[in-house]
Amino acid sequence: MKQRFTLRFVALLISLVSLPLAAKVSGLPDFTELVEKAGPAVVNIRVTQFGTRRQATPDQNGARRGQQGENHPEIPELFKRYFNVPKDPRSAQPDRMGAGSGFIYAADGYILTNHHVVAEADEIIVRMADRREFEAKLIGSDESSDIAVLKIEAENDLPFLRMGESETVKPGEWVAAIGSPFNFEQSVTAGIVSAKGRSNQAQRYVPFIQTDVAINRGNSGGPLLNMEGEVIGINSWILSSNGGYIGLSFSIPIEVAASTAKQLRETGKVERGLLGVVVGVVSREMAEALELDRPVGALVNEITPDGSADRAGLEPGDVILAFNDVPIETWNDLPPLVGANPPGTEAKVRVSREGKEKTFDVTLDALDGGSTNTITEQSNKANSENALGLVVENIDSERRRELGDPQGGVVITDIESDDAWRAGLRPGDVILMINNRDVENMDDFEALVKKIERNHAVALRVWRNGTANFIAYTPRDKNEG
């Protein structure tokens, strides 16, 4: 009996040791102290965009009449504008009202909020937690980062929030937001950081912080706080199918906001560096074709002639792996890193080219350049069946203009391969490169196609609708499904 008890006890100990480790739980956080300290520096922002009005004045008989010239049909329509006569008095627009949030970050009254909160506002009123109201002056606003700086004047120093570091924040950490959703002032919501480095087409230079903190209309511009009450982000937008919160909220990292605010206060504008490349996704097949061990980095689809990357020696087909020693995991990691530097910044760009890594020294241009292409004309010549399953021909000058003046290349006239069609190739596409080798004409195309092995991924640089992108696929034998 004693032996059985001992065996059971040992078995119980073994089962307890083998249990999976649970997440560390120390109780739910208490945000009351944080809110008491941070709340006084969070403000409600009300904006007004003045509409157009008919300014009527009483005539001698006490009746109302419109502006000068309104009751004078003999005045030609062309000249009524000089009398401030609306074309249709009934088309006068009322004032437009809006609201958002913000926070004071300096005791002398400087406030951070979103660009979209105050855009096109004629009047900005700031209401503090103690109900005091101030008319704010717009110091500067930047649409690309969705940041605006306001200034209010007060007799005494104002409460303000300290800025933290979003770079050290990790997914899973608790955070809180204070703002005015639906104009309910000083509303507090909390949650965790869900992810970092999210992208948005409208603000592609901002690596957003994703949280599950409840953010709604009116929260825009308010602070995202860590557990020390420091600002780590500015609440900017939500992803929603119905206009309301569904668990996906995005905030601008405070480092981006602080840099933008500094430039707006000093110069009234924001300058960003430009690398001069158009980048895209590195897919699994693209990684195989470009001799990468995994799909990583930003694929260079286009280079701006005489731009920063072009001068340094980068080429289409390069895969950017790091910028100033910061790894590039996906293509949307690159724009925020480049844009965070002013024009003239010297940087190092590490790329993979034909399976080998190279590092280039670049000097960033300013973010407002253009590009031009030169044209190489070739004679027409159709080709026969090939490993790619594509029928192509040279491009005459008239067809080249119709295609948007691509530099070099051959145009696809027919697609015989299901693999090529599924990959996205279409008749009218211009093939500029095959596996990082330029295609100037039919001779280049046929020479390169002869080297292609079936059942091995191939990368084509393709021109379509004025832009160039890479498409990768694996040409298979015809007897394969």
Structure tokens at 389: 């399953």
pLDDT tens column, 4-62:
555 565 555 555 444 454 445 567 889 999 999 999 999 999 999 887 554 444 444 43
Residue 63: pLDDT over 50: no
The residue from 217, 238, 267 where one domain ends is 267
* pLDDT, mean over the chain: 82
User: Per-residue confidence at 379, pLDDT binned at 50, 70, 90?
Assistant: very low
The residue from 366, 399, 419 where one domain ends is 366
Residue 263 and residue 178 in one domain: yes
Residue 197 lies in a domain: yes
The yes-or-no answer on residue 220 being catalytic is: yes
Residue 358 and residue 410 in one domain: no
Distance CA 339, CA 333 (A): 11
Of 328, 366, 362, 325, the closest CA to residue 347 belongs to 362
Q: Which of 116, 259, 308, 318 is catalytic?
A: 116
Residue 237 and residue 196 in one domain: yes
Number of domains in the chain: 3
User: Per-residue confidence at 383, pLDDT binned at 50, 70, 90?
Assistant: very low
Of 255, 257, 253, the closest CA to residue 175 belongs to 253
Q: Which of 145, 220, 259, 308 is catalytic?
A: 220
Residue 245 lies in a domain: yes
pLDDT tens column, 305-317:
999 999 999 999 9
Residue 197 and residue 232 in one domain: yes
Pairwise pLDDT comparison (283 vs 101), residue with the higher score: 101
pLDDT tens column, 398-438:
778 778 888 889 999 888 888 888 888 988 899 999 988 89
pLDDT tens column, 87-126:
554 555 677 888 999 999 999 999 999 999 999 899 999 9
Residue 142 lies in a domain: no
Residue 343 and residue 263 in one domain: no
Residue 300 and residue 359 in one domain: yes
Distance CA 149, CA 108 (A): 13
Residue 132 lies in a domain: no
The residue from 299, 334, 366 where one domain ends is 366
For the segment 262-276, the average pLDDT, to the nearest whole number, is 92
Residue 86 lies in a domain: no
Structure tokens at 184: 């309910």
Q: pTM for this one?
A: 0.66
Q: Which of 101, 115, 141, 146 is catalytic?
A: 146
Residue 201 lies in a domain: yes
Residue 244 and residue 326 in one domain: no
Residue 334 and residue 400 in one domain: no
* pLDDT number for residue 32: 93
Q: What is the CATH number of the domain that holds 439?
A: 2.30.42.10
Residue 445 lies in a domain: yes
- Could you tell me the residue range of the domain that residue 305 belongs to? 273-366
Residue 481: pLDDT over 70: no
Q: What is the CATH number of the domain that holds 202?
A: 2.40.10.10
Residue 260 and residue 341 in one domain: no
Residue 356 and residue 296 in one domain: yes
Residue 24 lies in a domain: no
Residue 460: pLDDT over 60: yes
